[in-house]
A and B are shown apart, each in its own frame.
Chain A
Amino acid sequence: MGNFGKKINIFLESFIEHGAYNKVLEGLSNTILIAVMGHIIGIVIGTLIATVRVIPKYKLLPRVLNGFCSFYVGFFRGTPIVVQLLLFYYVLFPLLGVRITAVAVSILVFGLNSGAYISEVMRGGILSVDSGQMEGGRAMGLSFSTTMLKIVIPQAIKNILPTMGNEFIALIKETSIVSFVGATDLYVAFNYIGSNNYEFMVPYLAMAVIYIVLVLVISLLIKIMERSLRKGDKSI
């Protein structure tokens, strides 16, 4: 045990006195930034794709869009996200001649990737809304997209909120791969502390604790959000 106490001291010294906490804060904020921005982009893309998938397919345009969406979802669900990250960072953007930071690429890739997953969840959510809601809107002379946006999607989102929460938590955990393209996240920060004095036990333990706390806090926020959304309707 004395040994462990020494390790903690080494960690604390590095963490506080040598200013490594700055690195950890940077890592933490990048992890959260990538997860939150990625999830928001994912919701927007996922909603668009899900909408395309439920449009009646009599006309050419919806069919073409639907084909594109199938390809998109197939690609992002069919390849590991590490591969997508590496492809975007080392292949796509260099080919386009665009210089872009590792964090920005990570946000983009996580957004595109979770868009593919969320589209499936959202489609289920949209289909779970009674078709009478769409009928009610269309019969009033509202367009398909207006009815979708104001009536159907808000109800769909409410139905899938628990699943969305899980998606977000999964996303947070997955962000630990962004070090593959050199972005500083929690893993990189604690790895840095550990490699300063070849003492990894405490840093990695601390990293695990931060991830757990993060997930617990998010779960709590989701619960609160659900409760406030459920107020009002469906309370009979």
Chain B
Amino acid sequence: MIKVSNLCKSFGELEVLKNVDIHITRGEKVVIIGPSGSGKSTLLRCLNCMEDPTSGSVVFNGVDIADPKVDINIHRQRMGMVFQHFNLFNNKTVIQNIMLAPVYVEKKRMRKLRRKNPNNEKIKSTAEIKAEEKEKAINLLRRIGLEDKADEYPSRLSGGQKQRVAIVRALAMNPEVMLFDEPTSALDPEMVGEVLEVMKSLAKEGMTMVVVTHEMGFAKEVADRVVFMADGVIAEEGTPADIFENPKNPRTQQFLQCVL
């Protein structure tokens, strides 16, 4: 579903990714591990072009989204992203956070339909769109047990609650793949579990997931494939059993010794 070829990324003089190739298939759960500064976040952010690759291609559903001529927004709507620091919209309530993008995208789609044929029966009014998305948002909140927080502002939530809201906010767009960049690294230890639970349930439903994390337990349990990065290259990849029990590359061995 996402095929990355010859991906290079530099920040000025600094070469962060060096000719990375990775292919993520539908339904697969890929966990990316590696030492700090090895380029994990940069690789993940290149998958939805939050960072523009310096060279190489990122083909998503047959389209090279690294091409500057492509309308990247349409493709990002199909890819959810969850950040270390949540990035919930501070000026919106929880439910507004979830509804904002889907309502906006639906409205835009309706405008297009109307321009083509004003009498199209599929055209919904803004009120209908909002009602629909609101119901969807409430269902998503119920799923994470936070429906009573719908009208709170993010500043009044705990870290774990924020991150769970951030996950369902991404889900509200019905993405085909979810990208996670250290989703539990900024959390107090007692809140890590609740976020991982939501991610595991997503995995069970068959969502395609790419996760950068230091949670080795999660990697062992959920990953179909573990990717070890070092110095801007994929140093080793394989099943969790391959990587954790039988690492071939000395860098992998050294890294795992430090974290396990």
Binding site for B on A (CB under 8 A): 130, 132-133, 135-143, 146, 150-151, 154-155, 158, 232-236
Q: Contacts of A142 on B, CB cut-off 8 Å? A: 73, 100-101, 104
User: Which one, A136, A141, A233, contacts B173 given CB within 8 A?
Assistant: A141
Measured CB to CB, the nearest residue on chain B to A157 is B91
Binding site for A on B (CB under 8 A): 48, 50, 73-78, 80-81, 83, 85-92, 100-101, 104-105, 153-156, 169-170, 173
Alpha-carbon distance between A127 and B50 when the two chains are bound, in angstroms:
19
**Given A232-B153, A235-B155, do A139 and B89 touch, yes or no (CB 8 Å)?**
no
Measured CB to CB, the nearest residue on chain A to B88 is A136
Alpha-carbon distance between A232 and B90 when the two chains are bound, in angstroms:
10
- 9 A-B pairs with CB atoms under 8 Å apart are A133-B90, A136-B88, A139-B48, A140-B169, A140-B170, A141-B75, A141-B173, A151-B91, A236-B155
**A contacts with B: majority SS:** helix
The 10 A-B pairs at the shortest CB distance, nearest first, are namely A136-B87, A141-B77, A141-B76, A233-B153, A139-B81, A132-B87, A140-B101, A141-B73, A233-B155, A154-B91
User: Which one, A138, A150, A151, contacts B50 given CB within 8 A?
Assistant: A138
Q: Contacts of A135 on B, CB cut-off 8 Å? A: 50, 83, 87
State whether B154 touches A233 (Cβ < 8 A).
yes
Measured CB to CB, the nearest residue on chain B to A146 is B104
Measured CB to CB, the nearest residue on chain B to A140 is B101
Q: Contacts of B83 on A, CB cut-off 8 Å? A: 132, 135-136, 139
State whether B85 touches A132 (Cβ < 8 A).
yes
Alpha-carbon distance between A235 and B87 when the two chains are bound, in angstroms:
18
Q: Contacts of A236 on B, CB cut-off 8 Å? A: 155-156
Q: A137-B101, A141-B75, A233-B153 are in contact. List 6 more A-B contacts (CB 8 A).
A: A130-B90, A133-B87, A139-B170, A140-B101, A151-B91, A233-B91
**Given A233-B153, A233-B155, A236-B155, do A140 and B91 touch, yes or no (CB 8 Å)?**
no
Alpha-carbon distance between A143 and B101 when the two chains are bound, in angstroms:
10
State whether B156 touches A235 (Cβ < 8 A).
yes
* Total number of residue pairs linking A and B with CB closer than 8 Å: 73
Distance in angstroms from B100 CB to nearest chain A CB is 7
User: Which one, A139, A141, A143, A158, contacts B91 given CB within 8 A?
Assistant: A158
Q: Contacts of B73 on A, CB cut-off 8 Å? A: 141-143
Alpha-carbon distance between A130 and B170 when the two chains are bound, in angstroms:
19
Interface centre among B90, B170, B173 (most CB of A within 10 A): B90
Alpha-carbon distance between A236 and B90 when the two chains are bound, in angstroms:
13
Alpha-carbon distance between A146 and B90 when the two chains are bound, in angstroms:
16
Q: Contacts of A155 on B, CB cut-off 8 Å? A: 90-91
State whether A141 touches B74 (Cβ < 8 A).
yes
Measured CB to CB, the nearest residue on chain B to A136 is B87
User: Which one, B48, B89, B105, B153, contacts A136 given CB within 8 A?
Assistant: B89
Q: Contacts of A136 on B, CB cut-off 8 Å? A: 83, 87-89
Distance in angstroms from A143 CB to nearest chain B CB is 6
Alpha-carbon distance between A4 and B154 when the two chains are bound, in angstroms:
62
Q: Contacts of B156 on A, CB cut-off 8 Å? A: 233, 235-236
Measured CB to CB, the nearest residue on chain B to A231 is B153
Measured CB to CB, the nearest residue on chain B to A139 is B81
Alpha-carbon distance between A141 and B105 when the two chains are bound, in angstroms:
9
Q: Contacts of B78 on A, CB cut-off 8 Å? A: 141
Q: Contacts of A150 on B, CB cut-off 8 Å? A: 100
Q: Contacts of A140 on B, CB cut-off 8 Å? A: 76-77, 81, 100-101, 169-170, 173
Q: Contacts of A233 on B, CB cut-off 8 Å? A: 90-91, 153-156
Q: Contacts of B88 on A, CB cut-off 8 Å? A: 136
Q: Contacts of A133 on B, CB cut-off 8 Å? A: 87, 89-90
Interface centre among A130, A140, A142, A155 (most CB of B within 10 A): A140
Alpha-carbon distance between A133 and B86 when the two chains are bound, in angstroms:
9
Alpha-carbon distance between A146 and B100 when the two chains are bound, in angstroms:
11
Distance in angstroms from A60 CB to nearest chain B CB is 13
Measured CB to CB, the nearest residue on chain B to A142 is B101
Q: Contacts of B50 on A, CB cut-off 8 Å? A: 135, 138-139
Alpha-carbon distance between A233 and B170 when the two chains are bound, in angstroms:
22
Q: Contacts of A151 on B, CB cut-off 8 Å? A: 89, 91-92
Alpha-carbon distance between A206 and B89 when the two chains are bound, in angstroms:
49
